[in-house]
Amino acid sequence: MNILGIETSCDETSAAVLCNGEVQSNVVSSQRCHTLFGGVVPELASREHERLIVAIVDAAVKESNIRKNELDVIAATAGPGLIGAVMVGLSFAQGMAYALKIPLVPVNHIEAHIFSPFINEGTSHAAPEGRFVSLTVSGGHTLLSLVEQDLSYKVIGRTLDDAAGEAFDKTGKMLGLPYPAGPVIDTLAKMGDPAFHLFPRALTSASQSSKNYQGNFDFSFSGLKTSVLTWLQKQSPEYIEVHKADIAASIQAAIVDVLVEKTIAVARNQRIRAVAMAGGVSANSALRKAIKEACDKADITLYVPDALYSTDNAAMIATLADLKLSRGMKAERTYNNAPYASFTAGARRA
Ligand code: KG4
Ligand code: ZN
């Protein structure tokens, strides 16, 4: 089975080819045009995808050594995402599937992140036998889900306000860092002291105000943002400049502590011994280290994607389509009639 995956939900234009479940190519182009604006400008994102999509798909197919007419299925992100950006990739996929007379499988972007730790490059591990807890942390989402063997999942915790990636990006912007600030904070924090300043950890055991934190698997990061802003306003620009790495490390520690504590709490609460972490923020080195230590201590097996597959990529889109098809799910509808059924219906809200 040869699957072409296409991802254009935000600011990465990506295409990948999967042959019998194994990644043959994964080409990603990250848009740099947004840096100047401190965040993704939807209209610019759509135009960049439109400009690059043909070249990126061609490059992925060429690198895979598969000819276009050997493709069996095209899988494309159908949302959630910036609607104009999604439409570029999905319409392109629809046209290509029509031309090649093969089915189009629409894929939910967040579901694809959830299963990204199981992307197979020939070396990766298969999905665990049994249920697992998924921590999905990206620029737009922060979710804790229980994933069943049949690939269905139930969201049991989510952010009440900002996503974890947003917390990185917005506090980083306050520190004068470029967008996206997450990876910059990650690098800066390596030279800083995480105990330099204690920023709030909302809805956790460390939070004085949330006595009922146990069994509450939701997150809140907007208070952290306000706390960083008001604290920075009280410091001189010179002090901030001298302690930039310490501040970055302290912000990062506040985010990481919450993510790790909640994830382990869910696994304990549900008596599940497998955790899979995914999404752009899962590339964070401090988070990777802390969650690994916590999982080891709690005798939980941890699955994390290669950092390459933490941020948006098309290999995860093709992989989820492959997982579903290999478990007997049919690409029921093709390009002829709105093909959005079954593949976006996996999520069950708690
Ligand atoms: O999954 P993703 O590529 O796109 C969305 O679906 O949102 O996630 C992007 C987010 C951004 O907020 C970015 O700052 C964050 O992931 N990110 C990181 C790191 N790499 C990416 N955050 C912290 N540390 C990193 N190393
Ligand atoms: Zn994403």
Q: Determine phi and psi for 319, rounding to 5 degrees.
A: -65, -45
Q: Which atom of ligand 1 is nearest to the CA of 11?
A: 4
Residue nearest to atom 10 of ligand 1 (CA): 139
User: What single letter denotes the amino acid at residue 53?
Assistant: I
Pocket of ligand 1 (CB under 6 A): 10, 138-140, 165, 168-169, 180-183, 186, 279-281, 283-284, 311-312
Residue 218: HSE in the Cβ half-sphere, 13 Å Cα cutoff: 10
Q: Which long-range contacts (CB under 8 A, 24 or more apart) does 94-97 make?
A: 94/335, 96/4, 96/57, 97/334, 97/335
Helix (H) or strand (E) run with residue 150 in it: none
Q: Which of 11, 12, 138 to mutate for ligand 1's pocket (most ligand atoms within 8 Å of CB)?
A: 138
One-letter amino acid of 52? L
What is the pLDDT averaged over residues 188-210? Answer: 87
pLDDT in tens, 88-137: 999 999 999 999 999 999 999 999 999 999 998 776 567 777 899 999 99
pLDDT grade for 329, boundaries at 50, 70 and 90: confident
Q: Which residue has the tokens 């492959």?
A: 322
With the most atoms of ligand 1 within 8 angstroms of its CB, the residue from 281, 285, 289 to mutate is 281
Q: How many CB atoms lie within 10 A of CB 302?
A: 20
pLDDT in tens, 213-239: 566 899 999 999 999 999 999 999 999
Q: What is the pLDDT of residues 65-85, one digit of tens each?
A: 999 999 999 999 999 999 999
Atom 20 in ligand 1: which residue has the minimum CA distance?
183
Q: What is the dihedral of CA 113, 218, 160, 193, to 10 degrees?
A: -80
The residue to mutate among 114, 166, 190, 311, having the most atoms of ligand 1 within 8 angstroms of its beta carbon, is 311
Which atom of ligand 1 lies closest to the CA of 279?
A: 1
Alpha-carbon separation of residue 215 from 92, 160, 171, 205, 271 (angstroms): 44, 15, 28, 11, 13
User: Ligand 1 centroid vs 279 CA: distance in angstroms?
Assistant: 7
- CA–chain centroid gap for 27, Å, is 17
Instruction: Determine if the peptide bond prior to 183 is cis (ω within 30°).
Output: no
Give the torsion sign (CA, 45, 51, 53, 57).
Answer: negative
Cα→Cα distances 85→45, 112, 119, Å: 6, 17, 24
Ligand 1 atom closest to 181 (CA)? 14
Q: Which residues contact 238 (CB under 8 A, 6 or more apart)?
A: none
Chain segment 292-314, per-residue pLDDT in tens: 999 999 999 999 999 899 999 99
Indicate whether 153 pLDDT > 90.
yes
**What pTM value is reported for the model?**
0.90
3-state secondary structure of 104: strand
Compute how many other C-beta atoms are within 10 angstroms of the C-beta atom of residue 318.
34
- pLDDT for 185: 98
What are 5-37's pLDDT values in tens digits?
999 999 999 999 999 999 999 999 998 888 888
pLDDT of residue 345: 33
Asked if 165 contacts 280 with a C-beta cutoff of 8 angstroms, the reply is yes
| Separation of CA 167 and ligand 1 centre (Å) | 10
Ligand 2 centroid to Cα of residue 28, in Å, is 13
